[in-house]
């Protein structure tokens, strides 16, 4: 049995510091860090290829140079939550979908709240773009990182689409 190494790195973004958790072959978690600790920056540590890839792709996204993430990821969630987030992952850059639309795509139009709950459990915000999922009335809905971050990400994508 092989042991999967875990690496933790941090990256400064326009929406704050993100903690990036990777294994030897995939990204597994992105967490919003509210108060940076003195260890919160990478101090020029050498990281594995997958961690370097994650940091690079996130920087490219915020610079407007990346619309699709190609980094492999793993979701350690229930099968339903995985299905929801795999559907959310298909929502294209600069586009939006409602919680209801995702529920219908999964074959259960009544699962709107469950779709919202699955989005709130998304361990990979930005990579799996749950910020692109909004209420059917056009409102932002919720976002685990805060609505200010969701609004920023939607605006960022709109800005780079317009160019």
Residues 62-79 have pLDDT tens digits of 999 999 999 999 999 999
Average pLDDT over residues 38-42: 58
Q: Could you list the active site residues? A: 130
The neighbour count for residue 79, using CB atoms within 10 Å, is: 8
Residues 6+ apart with CB under 8 A from 87: 102, 105, 106
Q: Which of 119 and 42 is assigned the larger pLDDT?
A: 119
Global confidence as pTM: 0.89
What pLDDT is recorded for position 112? 95
Taking the C-alpha atoms of residue 145 and residue 115, their distance in angstroms, rounded to an integer, is: 17
The neighbour count for residue 3, using CB atoms within 10 Å, is: 7
Give the residue among 10, 15, 19, 60 at the shortest CA–CA distance from 155. Answer: 15
- pLDDT(117) > 80: yes
Q: What is the pLDDT of residues 6-38, one digit of tens each?
A: 899 999 999 999 999 999 999 999 999 977 666
Taking the C-alpha atoms of residue 85 and residue 79, their distance in angstroms, rounded to an integer, is: 10
The 16-22 sheet, strands edge to edge: 7-13, 16-22, 27-33
H or E, element range at 134: strand 133-134
Kindly give the pairing relationship between strand 16-22 and strand 27-33.
antiparallel
DSSP letter string, 2-68: PPPP-EEEEEEETTEEEEEEE-SS-EEEEEEESS--TTSS-TT----HHHHHHHHHHHHHHTT--SS
- pLDDT(40) > 60: no
């Amino acid at each position: 049995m092989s042991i999967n190494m875990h690496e933790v790195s941090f990256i400064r973004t326009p929406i704050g510091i993100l903690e990036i958790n990777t294994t030897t072959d995939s990204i597994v978690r992105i967490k919003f860090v509210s108060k940076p600790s003195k260890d919160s920056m990478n101090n020029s540590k050498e990281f594995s290829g997958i961690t370097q890839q994650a940091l690079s792709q996130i920087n490219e996204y915020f610079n407007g140079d990346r619309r699709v993430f190609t980094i492999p990821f793993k979701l350690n969630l229930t099968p339903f939550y995985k299905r929801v987030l795999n559907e959310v992952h298909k929502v294209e850059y600069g586009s939006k979908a409602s919680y209801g639309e995702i529920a219908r795509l999964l074959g259960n139009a009544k699962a709107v709240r469950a779709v919202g709950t699955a989005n709130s459990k998304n361990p990979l915000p930005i990579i799996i773009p749950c910020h692109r999922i909004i209420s059917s009335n056009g409102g932002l809905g919720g976002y685990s990182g805060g609505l200010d971050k969701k609004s920023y990400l939607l605006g960022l994508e709109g800005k780079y689409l317009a160019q």
